[in-house]
Structure 1
Amino acid sequence: MAEAAAPDRPPGAPRGVLAPLALAQFICSFAGSNMNVMINDISTDLDTTVQGVQITITIFLLVMAALMIPGGKLTDRYGRKRCFLAGLTVYGVGALLSAAAPGLGVLILGNSILEGVGTALLIPPVYILTTLLFTEVSSRARAFGTIMALGGVGAAAGPLIGGLITSGIGWRAAFVFQALVIAVIILLSRRIEDPLPPDPTRPFDTGGAVLSAVGLILVVMGILAADDNVWLMAGLLVLGALVLLWFFRWVRAKERAGKEPLLSTSLFRDRTSNLGLVTQNIQWLLLMGTSFTVAAYLQVVRGYDAIRTGVIFTAATLGLLATSLAAERLAQRYAQRALIMTGFVVTIAGIALLLAMVSGSPNPWAFAPGLLLIGLGLGVMLTPSVNIVQSSFPEERQGEISGLSRSVSNLGSSLGTAVAGTILVAGLSTHAYGAAMATLAVLGLAGLAAAALLPRGRARSRAVAS
């Protein structure tokens, strides 16, 4: 699929180079959502709780978000392909360790920590290499469309694939499946050539990396603590905000001293890019928040098994795949702003339908229309949001902006699972489900407002795709 989707390759992009990049995004997105249908199986087998599984998922997403900026920066120093392969290796080890986990602690080490670190190393090179190798308007739009399609499908199809594997073999086999896909990606990666040489003398801001990671971790931990202790939540959020403020002051001091910081403040001076980052964050927040909320509700409240829950999510997968693979045609006909706004409107409509299921039909397929709309909406806007941000900066800034972009997106995934999960585990019932979905709808409206502030007109759309 990935190879067929990119016939307009520029010089330097060998045949088949898109396949491993798109598969890498697929498996990382899959890892973030497939555990949603294993909640009951994992909690029973490892003698833990729904909250324990939720924490495992959230830590995985959080580690990705916290380390994505340093991961993007490391590509300049050690090379994009080298970081890509190193990340795949760490991820594969984590997947195998998770498959053999005797308890929740080892599962967190393998899935949350090692797979999270591996993802933070391998995902920035995916977007940097795509930007550098596919320089033509049509080829880059198609390449990003394919990568975002497989990423979205991985997140949306994670419950289905995970459900089939869990019901047919067991939840541990889902991690073996991840390891096998990683092995295939490593084999396919032989065709990738790094278009820019690494610069071993490039400085790395260790202090900035620690501060940014700690700040993000504290913020998400504060959200997770909301159902246990309001004062603890407030304390962690304030502390996280203070650490992030320290980080930005650290960056400014580095810049004034003429040194290279982890993240240049100039990345935040482009208004269009900033708005694009906001839309990216909320898009992944909605995808992962909806996935966790609906999956947990169907299994814990309605008592569906993993495979029945996964099959219901097929509607979201089909919707996301259909619109993501049409990204190039849509980009040629409509402005980026129009696509992103349309995507939010359709997604919010889907959430409204799912919200209506609180007291609606007991038929599980009644969830399909809402999930289909969410998939269609997200597929429409994922690619233009990435293209707006990624293409706003020159080649020499791709390491920084790729790390920032992926960090913002994965922070959205973390927040989606944390916010929706915190509301749910506070009381798994129809009322908690309704509150979680209503919260996601409000956040969707915030994303729509950010999209409405993007520049109008088709000129900007053509510029960001080049």
Structure 2
Amino acid sequence: MVNRTVLDPGKRRRATILITVCIALMAVIASVSGLNVAQPKLATEFNASQGMVLWMINIYTLSLAAMLLPLGAIGDRWGRRRMLLSGLLIFGVASIISGLAPSSYIMLAARLLSGLGAAMIMPVTLAVITSTFPDEERSKAIGIWTGVAGGGGILGMYLSAILVDLADWRWLFALPVVLVIVAFMMTLRFIPDSVEKTKHKFDIVGSLLSIIAVIGIVFALHEAPGAGWGDLVTLVSMIIGVTGAVGFVLWELRQEGPLLDIRLFREHGLSSGSVTLLTVFGVQAGIFVVLFPYFQGVLGWSGLRSTFAMMPMALLMMLASGLAPGISIHIGSRFTMATGIMFGSIGAALMAAFVSVEGGYLSVLPGMLTMGLGMGLTMTPSTEAITSALPADRQGVASALNDITRELGTALGVALLGALVTAGYSNAIGSRLDLLPMGIAAVAREGIANALAIAPRAASQSGMLIRVAKESFVQGWQHAMWIGAGVMAVLFIYILVLGPKTNKKI
């Protein structure tokens, strides 16, 4: 018997559209995390400081987050297909320049341009889904999109680690370029052009204020772990960002055609979805910050093996994202979100309770799997809650808001949980280095990588220093993971009380 569902032309066309936007999204997501595995090689190639190398990575996220909201709104007005094609072109060219960059400053400029292109791509990919798929298919499509967004970064790091270990770091940019070419050709053929007509002028002032707010806040969050929260640059950046955010809210409340209608946050779906994504991506990013030093520093694994160790968590996250819509049909989106958050909190608690130097990978694997399951279940209904709260003519803005919460959450998680691990390590190791020379002890207090690097100079005390550094890092990890588990527990209660008001089934 012929399966009519499989052969239905409309569903086949929408499936092709979904594949196209996911390929474009994968190019963007892979570039967010791919360069992390090449930090030592970048420093050597360009004779760059660690701060410069971090900016090569972070300037991409900064420009991406800052431009998401205004470019999402422009995409609604100008045409989503044209915006996607333009973004892919800019992103592809910038990736080629990055791969050929002869200096650190060219690399910085290319990464800045890549972030701009990515900001044109990301909102459109989700907006195309929400404006193309009918209600009965939309949640499944969003589930696949969130799976790619959530797990694609880890898959990108894995492929990047292979390229770095087996070839050269410059080949990192070959993968995004190939994905861009494929997505560009498929967009020309399959993506329909949708333009939303509006009687209101584009909100230029609101756009500028949103850019100032995001740049100020994200810059401060990136600088705080290294420079400290009391550093003048960090404080000024945060003040500028918060002032821009307050100005943005006040301005938007007075506009007839605002860039983002702040009043919509009274709707529980939009507010709870945004808070959930902000928190979930923050905890996830913070966990990634500590997992790689654990694998590489405590267990002594290579970058490739460490990335491969993350794969079970990424695959389960992607699988759960695809299953979330079906679960929501039975128990509703509010309880699906709450269940996922509960698993996320349990996963963080498991890692905090059982991680050890001697236990190795098996001591953290149950927590990783539990957290991957929880985050996969959470992301799809949260994204649906945001996109369904805004009308069809504002889906670019809805998609951009969804992406901004992810980027801000990532920056916040890296800053806060990363700082907790650093502080926990310093407190744990501080009084255990009294027998070492002051110079060696000072270096060892800076971090586990520094302690392992300086250990050979400790002569007979080398073994003791390595053991103490590993144990201290694990203690710092435990402090951060307990905080992450507590934050997720608070979020669980918040969603049960103030989740989507109608407990909408997606």
In structure 2, the CA distance between the partners of 1:373 and 1:214, relative to structure 1 (3 Å rule), is: same
Paired residues of 1:60 and 1:116 also in contact (CA < 8 A): yes
1:129 aligned partner, one-letter code = V
1:131/1:140 contact within 8 Å kept? yes
For the Cα contact (< 8 Å) 2:71–2:119, is it kept in 1? yes
Quick check: 192-201 or 310-319, which moved more?
Answer: 192-201
Contact 1:25–1:150 (8 Å) recurs in 2: yes
Distance 1:222 1:391, change over 3 A: same
Aligned position for 1:131:
130
Cα distance in 2 for partners of 1:266, 1:27 equals: 34
Other-structure match for 2:447: 428
Separation (CA, whole Å) in 2 of partners of 1:175 and 1:411: 25
Q: CA shift at 1:49, angstroms?
A: 4.8
Task: Give the structure 1 partner of residue 38 of structure 2.
Answer: 38
- Residues 131 and 272 (structure 1 numbering): CA distance in 2 closer, same or farther, change over 3 Å? same
Name 2:227's counterpart in structure 1: 228
Structure 1 residue 183 displacement after superposition: 0.8
Q: Which residue is equivalent to 2:441?
A: none
Specify the code of the residue in structure 2 equivalent to 1:279.
Answer: T
Return the structure number with greater helix share. Answer: 2
In the alignment, the residues of structure 2 paired with residue 8 and residue 332 of structure 1 have an alpha-carbon distance, to the nearest angstrom, of 23
Instruction: Verify: 1:361 aligned to 2:332, yes or no.
Output: no
After superposition, the C-alpha distances for 1:39-67 in whole angstroms (9 at most, x for unaligned) are 33333433345554444333322322221
Q: Distance in 2 between matches of 1:14 and 1:342?
A: 30
| Counterpart-to-counterpart distance in 2, 1:371 and 1:7 | 39
What's the counterpart of residue 190 of structure 2? 192
> Which SS does the other structure have where 1:385 is aligned?
helix
> What does the per-residue CA deviation read over 1:378-409, in whole Å, with 9 as the maximum and x for residues that have no partner?
11111110111111222123232222222222
Deviations along 1:56-108, one digit per CA (max 9) or x if unpaired, are: 33332232222111011001221011111111111112222222233443333
Amino acid at match of 1:223: L
Are 2:355 and 2:363, in contact at CA under 8 Å, matched by a contact in 1? no
Q: Is the 8 A contact 1:162 1:310 kept in 2?
A: no
What TM-score do the two structures reach when normalised by structure 1? 0.87
CA distance in 1, matches of 2:92, 2:200: 28
Q: Is the 8 A contact 2:140 2:325 kept in 1?
A: yes
Tell me how large the CA RMSD over aligned residues is: 2.8
Superposed, 1:363-442 pairs within 5 Å as: 363-422=360-419, 427-429=446-448, 430=473, 431-442=475-486
AA in 1 matched with 2:127: I
Q: Which moved more, 1:263-272 or 1:428-437?
A: 428-437
Bigger mean CA offset, 47-56 vs 269-278: 47-56
What is the CA-CA distance between 1:214 and the residue it aligns to?
1.2
Residue 153 of structure 1, CA deviation: 1.9
Whether 2:340 is the aligned partner of 1:343: answer yes
How far does residue 438 in structure 1 lie from its aligned partner after superposition? 4.1
The equivalences for 1:442-453 within 5 A come to 442-453=486-497
Return closer, same or farther for 1:397/1:273 CA change in 2, 3 Å cut-off.
Answer: same
**Structure 1 gap ranges (5+):** none
Answer whether contact 1:142 1:328 (CA < 8 A) is retained. Answer: yes
Q: Is it true that 1:331 corresponds to 2:328 in the alignment?
A: yes
Classify 1:7/1:241 alpha carbon distance in 2 versus 1 (closer, same or farther; 3 Å). Answer: farther
| Structure 2 alignment gaps of length 5 or more | 424-445, 449-472
SS in structure 1 at match of 2:201: coil
**2:499 matched to 1:460?**
no
**Larger RCO (alpha carbons 8 Å, 6+ apart):** 1
Change in CA separation of 1:202 and 1:295 when aligned onto 2, cut-off 3 Å: farther
For 2:173 and 2:54, the matched residues in 1 are separated by 17
SS of the residue aligned with 1:275? helix
Structure number with greater Rg is 2
How much has 1:243 moved relative to structure 2? 1.8
Deviation at 1:307, TM superposition (A): 0.7
Q: Percent identity?
A: 25
Change in 2 beyond 3 A, CA 1:394/1:198 = closer
Q: What is the CA distance between 1:24 and its match in structure 2? A: 2.1
Matched to 1:117, the amino acid is: L
Instruction: Check 1:456–1:83 CA distance in 2 against 1; reply closer, same or farther (3 A cut).
Output: closer
Count of paired positions: 452
Q: Which amino acid aligns with 2:99?
A: A
Residue 199 (structure 2) pairs with residue 163 (structure 1): no
